[in-house]
């Protein structure tokens, strides 16, 4: 018994000696603050149990495009969890700090959860907004961030565009005009989704917020169900926020193993459950069914099917001189 | 704009209130018209309310954008330290500094066949470019346009991993002399002491250096091209041999609570080189405070092998008081056609200063409490300084016929002066220096008899701009 105690004490001591603190920087987009706050705690517990090491994850949030630019300009992210693949691609193109085939490193094209764009309206929906075409009603003022800097805004823009294509028999000119009319009704363009939520929910600007599904739920949770309603349009877009290890930075920091595990754990049951609880649509079907009440059923188009993938969509719509630049006059 | 809209809202509200009061007494037809008006007015109020909210939010966003823009904009700074331009993250910095010294030297008791230098000289004229690239790489480029022909004094790149671990490559001050390492800007006198004759000036090579324990200790170890005493080499290493130099310096009480001990520093610098047989590796001569050569080796004497130097050194600063002292040995093998000698030359100095106006003195200068401003009756800082120094050339040099005609193997000098720091950038000083010579002799070479046949008495003045 005494020997066993000595061994146990020695093991505990050895564990204490060898335990190290690992720091990760997760550069993410605007609405994921709450998701990763909860997830980081869960992962730290998991990693401690698995390896004995303490892991501390620092978070950085902002418009997805702006965040990607920060990484390009030297922000040393171990992992990026951005709103769309094209922002990660921009990091690949400009820094080569992760491989071109980064999306193949994790399941589901490195998108462990999905989301979509819905409408957040004022309680009782006084302007009668039920679908995209209602946004063009006289007197309706729309709040959405700037697609140049916000990933969510790009998804919202493409969702509107997809709706217009669908309802116009895929007439691109009509779709372009439809989106142009929408942006004419946007009085303030914030740089990120969280800023737009502040504009709409806290500053009382506008009649409808084109919001990430999770951001809409969060606004209701934070400001009260008596303030806002969520309206699900007939059609929206399947938004696939993507995650990736920034290999060269992680290697430099000596955090590669922890960084990979951090992203892999997003696909675990616990990771998927945390995503669902934060109103992100989980990939795991069992968990998706468990939280089905959180998510409205609607037709979701994909970026690949409707716009030929992110590379093409980015260049056509959001690149310098692209469609957005042509239709939007501040 | 916002106030106008609010005033308009108030007027509308008053009108609305009066209208509502009148509604029950109005004719039904008029009431219907009134309802329509009220609806219109409500709509107008809502529209105005939205406009105000949009304007307020836009203002918020504009302020945020301006704040964020400031974070990414380069910063420009102009103050007594010079001009500095840096990137917002300070990873890239470029600074322009400068040093101008305009001197006069008046020699007394000049011999009839006077050969003393002229009165006025532009002693130093240096634009100094320093900076940092990619956060960790510092640089310094200092050309010299004063004195004789233009030259590059310092040109180096310094990689600083942290204060304790830095690697410097290029042309920089050598490591041996304490006064030699002090900035020209903050010397007690116009010229460094006799000790400066026995230590190298600049050298080419690389050094590993750093400060430990918040500057309590510092170290430097260098591999250099090797240079004769007092010489700053041109931009190429004169021979194939290398020199090693090192320095350890301690300020043991820097972190102490006892203020009187904090300014105490003590250390040692040294070098070792193995010179090829060449006159180029031999000092071209030793100079007085007045920068006249009082000793040199005669024609045909060359450096020939081992040459080492060591210099114990220290300083003490406490309040307005400053004291600096150092001792140097330069031991060098030389030869001529007739003899081989190992010459051990020594020198020492002690100098002190007292700031009459009470400011604290330091190795890195004085900052006047009340910069010169006649309108405010402020006169800057005043300091009295004194120094005594000796230099002894190995007596074998004279005995073995290695010295040029009229060379003095021993020199003793005392100096006294008054320094006026108008502000951190401008300084004016006046000093008097007396140097006596002994053990005079030698043959051949350039004769120094006109310098050593009597004591040198010199009055110095200087106006200095440093930023």
ipTM for this model: 0.73
Q: How close A187 comes to chain B (CA, Å)?
A: 7
- Asked if the Cβ–Cβ distance from B53 to A190 is below 8 Å, we say no
Tens of pLDDT, residues A224-280: 889 999 999 999 999 999 999 999 999 999 999 999 999 999 999 999 999 999 999
Tens of pLDDT, residues B68-110: 888 888 999 999 888 999 998 889 999 999 999 999 999 987 7
Interface A-B: count of C-beta contacts within 8 A: 24
Tens of pLDDT, residues B193-248: 999 999 999 999 999 999 999 999 999 999 999 999 888 888 888 778 899 999 99
Check residue B134 and give left, alpha or beta (phi > 0: left; psi -120 to 50: alpha).
Answer: left
A chain contacts of residue B60, beta-carbon cutoff 8 Å: 203
CATH for A117-238+298-327? 3.40.190.10
Residue B11 has pLDDT above 70, yes or no: no
A chain contacts of residue B57, beta-carbon cutoff 8 Å: 188, 199, 203, 205
Q: Are B99 and B153 a contacting pair, CB within 8 Å?
A: no
Average pLDDT over residues B138-155: 92
- Asked if the Cβ–Cβ distance from B57 to A141 is below 8 Å, we say no
Where does the pLDDT of residue B27 fall: very low under 50, low under 70, confident under 90, or very high at 90 and above?
low
Residue A35 CA to residue B223 CA, distance in Å, equals 56
Tens of pLDDT, residues B406-461: 999 999 999 999 999 999 999 999 999 999 999 999 998 888 998 999 999 999 99
A chain contacts of residue B91, beta-carbon cutoff 8 Å: 74
A144 and chain B: CB distance < 8 Å anywhere?
no
CATH for B100-125+179-200+209-466? 2.40.160.10
Which A residues, 278 through 307, put their C-beta within 8 Å of a C-beta on chain B? Answer: none
B chain contacts of residue A187, beta-carbon cutoff 8 Å: 50, 54, 58
- Domains of chain B, by residue range, sit at 2-71, 100-125+179-200+209-466
- 3-state DSSP assignment of residue B119: coil
B chain contacts of residue A188, beta-carbon cutoff 8 Å: 54, 57-58, 61
Tens of pLDDT, residues A45-102: 999 999 999 999 999 998 888 899 999 988 999 999 999 898 999 999 999 999 999 9
Residue B63 CA to residue B150 CA, distance in Å, equals 51
CATH for A18-113+240-294? 3.40.190.10
Two structure tokens written together for B56: 């307020």
Picking from B53, B89, B91, the nearest residue to A203 by CB comes out as B53
Residue matched to tokens 């250390």: B267
Task: Note the pLDDT of residue B305.
Answer: 92
Task: Note the pLDDT of residue B5.
Answer: 44
Q: How close B92 comes to chain A (CA, Å)?
A: 13
Residue A16 has pLDDT above 70, yes or no: no
The DSSP secondary structure of A178-237, one letter per residue, reads HHHHHHHT-S---SSHHHHHIIIIIS---SEEEEEHHHHHHHHHHH-TTTEEEE--SEEE
Sequence ranges of chain A with CATH classification 3.40.190.10: 18-113+240-294, 117-238+298-327
Task: Note the pLDDT of residue B1.
Answer: 41
């Amino acid at each position: 018994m005494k020997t066993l105690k000595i061994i146990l004490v020695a093991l505990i001591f050895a564990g204490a000696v060898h335990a190290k603190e690992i720091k990760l920087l997760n550069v993410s987009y605007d609405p994921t603050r709450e998701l990763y706050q909860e997830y980081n705690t869960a992962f730290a517990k998991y990693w401690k149990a698995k390896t004995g090491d303490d892991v501390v994850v620092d978070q950085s949030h902002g418009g997805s495009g702006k965040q990607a630019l920060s990484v390009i300009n030297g922000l040393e992210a171990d992992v990026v969890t951005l709103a769309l693949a094209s922002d990660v691609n921009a990091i690949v193109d400009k820094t080569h700090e992760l491989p071109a085939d980064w999306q193949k490193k994790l399941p589901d094209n490195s998108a462990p959860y999905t989301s979509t764009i819905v409408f957040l309206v004022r309680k009782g929906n006084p302007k009668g907004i039920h679908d995209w075409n209602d946004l063009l009603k006289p007197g309706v003022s729309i709040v959405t961030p700037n697609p140049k800097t916000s990933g969510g805004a790009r998804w919202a823009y493409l969702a509107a565009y997809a709706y217009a294509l669908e309802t116009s028999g895929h007439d691109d000119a009509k779709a372009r005009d439809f989106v142009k009319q929408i942006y004419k009704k946007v009085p303030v363009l914030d740089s990120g989704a969280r800023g737009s939520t502040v504009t709409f929910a806290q500053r009382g600007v506008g009649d409808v917020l084109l919001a990430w599904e999770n951001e809409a739920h969060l606004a209701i949770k934070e400001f009260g169900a008596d303030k806002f309603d969520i309206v699900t349009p007939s059609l929206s877009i399947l938004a696939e926020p993507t995650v990736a290890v920034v290999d060269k930075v992680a290697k430099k920091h000596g955090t590669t193993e922890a960084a990979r595990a951090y992203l892999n754990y997003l696909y675990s049951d616990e990771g998927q459950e945390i995503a669902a609880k934060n109103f992100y649509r989980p990939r795991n079907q069992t968990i998706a069914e468990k939280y089905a009440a959180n998510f409205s059923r609607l037709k979701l188009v994909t970026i690949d099917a409707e716009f030929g993938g992110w590379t093409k969509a980015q260049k056509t719509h959001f690149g310098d001189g692209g469609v957005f630049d042509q239709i939007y006059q501040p | 704009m916002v106030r106008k809209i609010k005033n308009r809202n108030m007027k509308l509200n008053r009108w609305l209130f009066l209208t509502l009061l009148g509604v029950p007494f109005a004719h039904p037809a008029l009431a219907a018209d009134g309802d329509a008006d009220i609806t219109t007015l409500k709509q107008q109020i809502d529209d105005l309310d939205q406009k105000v909210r949009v304007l307020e939010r836009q203002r918020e966003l504009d302020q945020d954008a301006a704040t964020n823009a400031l974070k990414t904009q380069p910063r420009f700074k102009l103050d007594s330290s010079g001009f500095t331009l840096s990137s917002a993250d300070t990873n890239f910095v470029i600074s322009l500094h400068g040093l101008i010294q305009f001197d006069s030297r008046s020699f007394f008791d000049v011999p009839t066949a006077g050969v003393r230098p002229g009165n006025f000289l532009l002693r130093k004229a240096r634009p100094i470019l320093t900076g940092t690239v990619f956060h960790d790489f510092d640089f310094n480029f200092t050309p010299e346009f004063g004195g004789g022909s233009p030259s590059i004094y310092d040109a180096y790149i310094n990689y600083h991993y942290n204060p304790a671990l830095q690697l410097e490559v290029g042309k920089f001050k050598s490591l041996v002399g304490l006064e030699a390492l002090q900035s020209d800007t903050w010397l007690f006198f116009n010229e460094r002491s006799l000790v400066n004759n026995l230590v190298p000036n600049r050298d080419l090579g690389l050094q590993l250096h750093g400060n430990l324990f918040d500057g309590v200790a510092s170290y430097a170890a260098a591999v250099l091209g090797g240079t004769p005493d007092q010489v700053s080499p041109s931009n190429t290493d004169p021979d194939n041999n290398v020199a090693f130099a090192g320095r350890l310096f301690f300020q043991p009480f820097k972190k102490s609570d006892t203020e009187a001990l904090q300014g105490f520093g003590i250390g040692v610098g040294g070098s070792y080189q193995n010179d090829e047989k060449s006159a180029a590796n031999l000092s071209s001569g030793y100079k007085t405070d007045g920068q006249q050569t009082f000793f040199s080796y005669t024609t045909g004497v060359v450096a020939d092998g081992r040459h080492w130097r060591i210099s114990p050194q220290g300083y003490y600063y406490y309040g307005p008081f400053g004291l600096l002292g150092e001792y140097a040995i330069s031991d060098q093998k030389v030869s001529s056609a007739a003899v081989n000698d190992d010459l051990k030359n020594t020198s020492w100095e002690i100098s002190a200063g007292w700031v009459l106006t009470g400011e604290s003195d330091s190795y890195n200068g004085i900052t006047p409490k009340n910069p010169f401003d006649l309108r405010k009756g402020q006169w800057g800082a005043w300091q009295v300084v004194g120094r005594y120094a000796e230099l002894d050339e190995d007596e074998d040099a004279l005995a073995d016929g290695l010295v040029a005609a009229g060379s003095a193997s021993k020199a003793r000098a005392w100096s006294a002066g008054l320094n006026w720091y108008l502000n951190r950038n401008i300084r004016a000083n006046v000093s008097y220096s007396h140097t006596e010579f002994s053990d005079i002799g030698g043959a051949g070479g350039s004769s120094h008899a006109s310098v050593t046949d009597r004591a040198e008495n010199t009055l110095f003045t200087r106006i200095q701009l440093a930023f």
